[in-house]
């Protein structure tokens, strides 16, 4: 990536969306009257989308200025605001809670409106925003058509894969009915993004339900990985690229070891060990071990990565890790992203740091690093600053709200992430 003195930082995990009334202009005409009725009764459910900072989601100039002030020169934009006809953030809604065909049609129209708004929003800052577009899984042909439209429209952030938990009304992700979707993503080089919190069902809206939803998030994220690997999706589509974002990275080496042992034991043609499986195996058609599929096709969106996670970077794969800051969520690294980078990447070789902060994201999402360096030379932290790290005692108390600083400053246990009802997740 050159001998430049400052790091290019791409956040592979940011969030955005239109103000509620803005979506009206992007809806298909047949849904406008329904939108007016829905919007008249809708109340925004998230506190951080009601106050003066809500505009961070859609105010292009404010967003660009704040990210630059934080050392970030480009971003991958996942959804955040509530799209038309959804009760909550689409990221948190998964496929569950849909009452019937009419609701499905309205929600699909709402997601398509978001995608069209997002395409224009990314064009406001060419080359520095990669928008992640949305689909639903109830109509695979419609999803395939949306992938082709989004690719043509320049939404380079790839597709957000909805959850398909039990009760969602759609088949599990390893079902062959989705093969056409995987094929078009493979054909067009469209990344498939799995964002933390989007794979599992919600059991209700009480504080107890919220607690268990948070506790179960990681399990559902890992389960989605298992379905794609052991279910044969990655084997059938070797050119498919999958990114698991905001799920942490500490689970990855453990899960790969576990699945490799399971794989060796389950194969009916092998001796295996440790796990009994007394029938012809469902995984006999897999030519690679799970860890090999990970290293061939999978990546980790390492949102607010912690120094303890950097310690296992080689086991995950330095070429697999994409740093993210989670702007504008309450638990994001903003406005301490430079401090978060210095904390996590202290002592890490410059070449490895460059890959994880920018190179991997540029390859995945099509950013032009030469184009971004001009901005980075103005706002990015220097190689020396990042390599030297920082003294945690110099961090302000407000930094304790971000998991990147967990255990490093007083109050870090009181992570803002604990009130996810305020941040759309």
Tell whether 210 is covered by a domain.
Answer: yes
Instruction: Give domain status of residue 122, yes or no.
Output: yes
Q: How far apart are the first and last CA of the chain?
A: 35
Tokens of 193: 């993004």
Residue 218 structure tokens:
């990681």
Mind listing the pLDDT tens digit of every residue in the chain (425 residues)? 444 799 999 999 999 999 999 999 999 999 999 999 999 999 988 877 889 999 999 999 999 999 999 999 999 999 999 999 998 888 766 554 456 889 999 999 999 999 999 999 999 999 999 999 999 999 999 999 999 999 999 999 999 999 898 888 899 999 999 999 999 999 999 999 999 988 888 888 899 988 998 899 899 999 999 999 999 999 999 999 999 999 999 999 999 999 999 898 887 655 555 555 544 577 888 999 999 999 999 999 999 999 999 999 999 999 999 999 999 999 999 999 999 999 999 999 999 999 999 999 999 999 999 999 999 999 999 999 999 999 988 999 999 999 999 999 864 444 443 333 344 55
CA-based nearest residue to 142, from 167, 118, 117, 107: 107
Q: Which of 279, 307, 271 is nearest to 389 (CA)?
A: 307
CATH number of domain containing 28 = 3.20.20.140
In a domain, 282, yes or no: yes
Number of separate domains in the chain: 1
* Secondary structure letter of residue 386 according to DSSP: H
**Assessment of whether the complete model's pTM goes beyond 0.85:** yes
Helix (H) / strand (E) element for 223: namely helix 207-230
Torsion of CA 106, 111, 113, 118, to 10 degrees: 170
**What is the 3 state secondary structure string of 100-157?**
CHHHHHHHHHHHHHHHHHHHHHHHCCCCCEEECEECCCCCHHHHHHHHHHHHHHCCCC
- DSSP letters, 331-369, are TS-TT-HHHHHHHHSTT--HHHHHIIIIIHHHHHHT--H
DSSP 413: T
- In angstroms, the CA 325 to CA 328 distance is 9
| Dihedral angle of Cα 106, 23, 70, 194, to the nearest 10 degrees | 20
One-character DSSP codes across 15-65 = EE---GGGGGGGS-GGGHHHHHHHHHH-----GGGTSGGGGGGT-HHHHHH
Q: Which domain holds residue 240?
A: 10-422
Q: Judge whether 3 lies within some domain.
A: no
Residue 2 inside a domain? The answer is: no
Residue 131 lies in a domain: yes
Does residue 1 form part of some domain? no
In a domain, 253, yes or no: yes
């Amino acid at each position: 990536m050159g001998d430049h003195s400052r790091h290019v930082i791409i956040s592979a995990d940011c969030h955005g969306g239109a103000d509620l009334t803005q979506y009206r202009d992007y809806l298909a005409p047949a849904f406008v009257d329904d939108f007016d009725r829905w919007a008249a009764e809708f109340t925004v459910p998230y506190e951080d989308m009601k106050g003066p900072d809500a505009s961070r989601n859609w105010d292009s100039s404010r967003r660009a200025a704040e990210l630059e002030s934080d050392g970030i020169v480009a971003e991958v934009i996942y959804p955040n605001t509530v799209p038309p006809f959804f009760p909550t953030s689409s990221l948190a809604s998964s496929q569950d809670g849909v009452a019937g065909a009419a609701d499905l049609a309205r929600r699909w129209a709402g997601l398509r409106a978001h995608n069209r708004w997002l395409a224009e929003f990314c064009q406001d800052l060419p080359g520095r925003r990669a928008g992640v577009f949305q689909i639903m899984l109830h109509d695979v042909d419609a999803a395939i058509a949306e992938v082709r439209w989004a690719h043509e429209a320049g939404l380079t952030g790839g597709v957000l894969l909805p959850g398909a938990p039990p009760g969602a009304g759609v088949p599990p992700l390893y079902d062959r009915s989705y093969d056409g979707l995987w094929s078009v993503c493979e054909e067009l080089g469209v990344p498939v993004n799995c964002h933390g919190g989007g794979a599992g069902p919600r059991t209700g809206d009480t504080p107890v339900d919220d607690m268990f939803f948070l506790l179960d998030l990681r399990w559902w994220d890992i389960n989605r990985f298992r379905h794609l690997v052991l279910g044969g999706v990655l084997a059938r589509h070797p050119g498919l690229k999958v990114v698991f974002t905001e799920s942490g990275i500490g689970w990855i080496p453990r899960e790969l070891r576990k699945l490799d042992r399971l794989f060796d034991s389950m194969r009916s043609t092998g001796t295996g060990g440790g796990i009994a499986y007394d029938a012809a195996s469902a995984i006999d058609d897999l030519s690679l071990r799970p860890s090999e599929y990970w290293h061939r096709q999978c990546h980790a969106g390492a949102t607010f990565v912690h120094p303890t996670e950097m310690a296992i970077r080689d086991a995950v794969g330095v070429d697999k890790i994409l740093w993210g800051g989670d702007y504008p969520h309450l638990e994001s690294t903003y406005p301490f992203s430079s401090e978060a980078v210095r904390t996590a990447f202290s002592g890490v070789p410059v070449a490895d740091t460059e890959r994880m902060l920018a190179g991997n994201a540029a390859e995945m999402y099509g950013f032009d690093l030469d184009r971004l360096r001009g901005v980075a030379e103005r706002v990015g932290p220097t190689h020396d600053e990042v390599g030297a790290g920082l003294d945690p005692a110099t961090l302000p108390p407000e930094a304790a709200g971000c998991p990147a600083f967990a255990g490093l400053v007083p109050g870090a246990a009181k992570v803002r992430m604990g009130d996810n009802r305020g941040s759309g997740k």
